[in-house]
Amino acid sequence: MKLNILRVNLTRKTSKKQTIDDATVVKFIGGRGLGLKILYDELKPRTDPLSPDNKLIFMTGPTTGTAVPTGGRFHVVTKSPQTGGIADSNCGGDWGPELRFAGYDGIVVEGASKEPVYLWIHDGKVEFKDASKYWGKGVWDTEDGIRAELKDPEIKLASIGPAGENLVMYAAIINKKHRAAGRCGVGAVMGSKKLKSIAVRGKGKTPVADPEKLREAVREAQKIMKANSVTGEGLPTHGTAILVNVLNKHGAYPTRNFQTGVFPTADKTSGETITKTILTGKMPCWGCPIACGRVTKITTPPYQVDGEGPEYETTWSLGAMCGIDDLGAITKAHNICDDMGIDPISYGSTVACAMELYEKGRIPKEKLYGVELKFGNPQTIVELAWMTAYRLGIGDDLALGSKRLAEKYGAPDLAMHSKGLELPAYDPRGVQGHGLGYATSNRGGCHLRAYMIAPEILGIPEKIDPLKTEGKAKWVKTFQDLFAFVDSMGACKFATFALGAEHFAKLINPVAGWKLTADDVMKTGDRIYTLERMFINREGFGRKDDTLPKRLLKEPMPEGPIKGRVVELDKMLDDYYKVRGWTDGKPTPKTVKELGLA
Amino acid sequence: MRMPRVKICVFADLRDLLGFSVVDLDTQPESVRELIDTLSRRYNRRFRRLLIDRKTGDLKRFYKILVNGRDIDFLDRLDTRLKDGDELSFFSPAGGG
């Protein structure tokens, strides 16, 4: 299967089509894998991520825009301004399929424009349009404005808000107003190129090699996903925030900057409470039968909002992480993050870090404009979202992210990150394998490289003891490899609650005309994960960076079911390197050769 | 012998099924299995059918029971004995990210 890439040079305002041959596509698939391959081959090491020399890659997968269940996704790949390593972020919504309908499977954006522009890609044609009237505006006004300007309400857009324009370290790229390529500062890279939005529209079709075989495979996958109680019932009914009480009762719900794992009023911000009080509907991404998205509305002041969310990660990051249990404030702040184009995981964690710095007397009050930066103050997360997006007052410091913020105020140990990317909503002192996943994630503190919560807490595909360290390395590698494949093919990782490698092979083969087995799927994922590791090695990352905050390694959990526990990372890390065929965080020449990366 | 008093917390659709979120219960010295029977008799007979696999008698896949924050799979499963002051949490299938 060949893929068609659009090469855009914003400095020269030129574009050209490039075809990626089948030999490359079958090795790296598309999405995360192919985006990474292009970046690895073309980007010089030590390139400044915010310079015109960085490349910003939008890549769909072969199954994006086909009948494959959850096949609506695309991936953004670039070098991260937040971490200095790989930035890659997966996104749903409806932009990915439309890009393919418009004639392109991916876009590589190079250079930088002197003035704000947006790209208009429609049925193969590419136009550079003036975005000056949208510069400074939120994503929502930008989407509405461009659709009105181009006189087509069905245009799909991937845009940045003021956060990306102002180079906030964790700025996101948003499509369909609420779906984010959220992490690692991909929005800041887009902002550095003065690229406000990419608008796409097309009437093309996505190629499928064997439509009849695909129909069979889709029928089978849909049946399995419907019968599965997580994808068929739990997620559609309750959304992801159903996990709030699960993690809290395990004592592993990070609270007040990971100072503890128990949040007494967690239920006030849980999926159950969202369903009972503010939920008005479900929102699926393109081609998704699960529909985990939440449509919500609040009509009572002071936090009136008509939008979406919060999801599990945001109800946590803007909630318990900051000691806040006001669902109205959390929902409002979640929606401001969507509109301003901010990663709410990193934002909430940075605010929590700032709260602990404030508690310890390190943040100057004059930068706060009268806002008390205390744990539990709901005003903070709402107001500081605007201030961060526009870099006002303390917002200018919060825009740095927790690592640089904590370093600036002389307390680096108070930033809860790995490799510079803030940790998400699970305290690994209670979920040991998940801690290994955080530490060995190539892009930094991430729960979606190896979602060890699935086996260690949820029992998917089987239950393993979260408090033990033995055997975790192999599980982490398996998840990392499978998820790398799924991120590359254009499907959603939530499908993995029901489907395994053999199902993904059955789905992609009739699309691409391949004959992959389940083992091929896993080996391809291994190849992609290893190339990512080679990318960050080249940028100076190694074993010293495969670590966790001191709090999680040295400070025992003070209370709750996992009282007294720390992450026993060293025990698991050596196992992990052995299982990966790496030494000190670097793939050995033998491993590189075996995976066809030499 | 004084009957153990345990705290029962239920979540998601189990709240609608049983009609409560949290309840304190005086029990006979019981296992988790016997407690499920008690809750079914007192609140809703569907509770046992929902949680327990008829063929195997085990807890159904993806359902979860914690005793003091510890999954019963790593204690004595449904035969885990209860003591005074224990807190039990019951979860139906969940997923997320």
The answer to whether A279 touches A447, Cβ cutoff 8 Å, is no
Tokens 């000190």 — which residue?
A584
Helix axes A569-580, A432-440, angle to 10 degrees: 60
ipTM confidence score: 0.96
Q: Identify the closest residue of chain B to A492 by CA–CA distance.
A: B97
Residue ranges of chain A that CATH labels 1.10.599.10 = 429-547+568-594
Mean pLDDT of B61-74: 96
d(CA A358, CA A411): 11
Under CATH, to which class is A429-547+568-594 assigned? mainly alpha
Tell me whether B77 touches chain A (CB under 8 Å). no
Q: Is residue B71 a contact partner of residue A247, using CB atoms and an 8 Å limit?
A: no
C-alpha–C-alpha distance, residues A264 and A129, integer Å: 51
Q: Is the pLDDT of residue B1 over 70?
A: no
Say what the pTM is.
Answer: 0.97
* Nearest beta carbon to residue B95 from set A463, A494, A562: A494
A contacts of B74 (beta carbons < 8 Å): 465, 467
Distance CA B97, CA A230 (A): 12
pLDDT for A131: 98
Average pLDDT score over chain B: 92
Q: Is A4 exposed, middle or buried (0-12, 13-18, 19+ CB in 10 A)?
A: middle
Secondary-structure percent of chain A, ordered helix, strand, coil, rounded to 5: 45, 15, 40
pLDDT in tens, B56-67: 999 999 899 999
Q: Could you say which residues of chain A have pLDDT below 50?
A: none
Letter for the amino acid at A156?
K
pLDDT at B3: 66
Fold annotation for A3-201 = Aldehyde Ferredoxin Oxidoreductase;  A, domain 1 (3.60.9)
B interface mutation test: which of A228, A242, A292, A452 has the most B CBs within 10 A?
A242
Of A506, A597, A375, residue with least CA distance to A69? A506
End-to-end CA distance of chain A: 23
- Facing residue for B69 by CB, picked from A237, A494, A560: A560
Interchain CB contacts (distance < 8 Å): A and B: 95
Q: What are phi and psi of A377, to 5 degrees?
A: -85, 110
Per-residue exposure over A410-438, b if at least 16 CB sit within 10 Å of its own CB, e if not: eebebbbbbbbbbbbbbbbbbbbbbbbbb
Distance (Å, rounded) from C-alpha A423 to C-alpha A379? 23
**Given a cut of 90, is residue B33 above it in pLDDT?**
yes
What does the alpha-carbon distance between residue A256 and residue A259 come to, in Å, rounded to a whole number? 6
pLDDT of A364 reads 85
Q: Which residues contact A228 (CB under 8 A, 6 or more apart)?
A: A497, A498
Interface contact A458-B15, CB threshold 8 A: no
Tell me the backbone φ, ψ of residue A493, rounded to 5 degrees: -65, -20
Please list the residue range(s) of chain A that carry CATH number 1.10.569.10.
239-421
Stretch (H or E) spanning A402: helix A402-408
Q: Chain B neighbours among A 452-491 (CB < 8 Å)?
A: 453-454, 458-460, 463, 465-467
* Inter-chain CB proximity A463 and B13 less than 8 Å: no
B21 touches chain A (CB under 8 A): yes
Cα–Cα distances (Å) from B25 to B30, B36, B82, in that order, read 12, 12, 12
Has residue B27 got a pLDDT over 90? no
Which residue from B minimizes the CA distance to A448?
B97
Single out the residue of A139, A170, A131, A175 nearest to residue A340, CA to CA: A139
Start-to-end Cα distance in chain B: 46
Strands of A173-175's sheet in order across: A125-130, A117-122, A195-201, A156-159, A173-175, A179-181
- A243/B66 touch (CB, cutoff 8 Å), yes or no: no
Look at the block and give the residue holding tokens 């790949």.
A77
Q: What is the pLDDT of residue A483?
A: 98
Asked: is A239-421 a CATH 1.10.569.10 domain? The reply is: yes
**Given this model, what pLDDT does residue A365 score?**
87
| Separation in Å, CA A232 to CA A56, A179, B44, B93 | 36, 22, 24, 10
Which residues sit opposite B64 in a β-bridge?
B91
Smallest Cβ–Cβ distance between A249 and the set B15, B61, B66 belongs to B66
Which residues are CB-contacts of A238 (< 8 A; sequence separation ≥ 6)?
A271, A272, A275, B12, B94
How much is the pLDDT for A367? 85
What fold is seen in the domain B5-91?
Ubiquitin-like (UB roll) (3.10.20)
What are the chain B neighbours of A267 within 8 Å (beta carbons)? 21
- Check CB contact of B19 with chain A, cutoff 8 Å: no
Task: Test B12 with A312 for CB contact under 8 angstroms.
Answer: no
pLDDT score at A205: 95
Q: What pLDDT does residue B29 have?
A: 60
Q: Which residues on B lie below 8 Å from A494 (Cβ)?
A: 95, 97
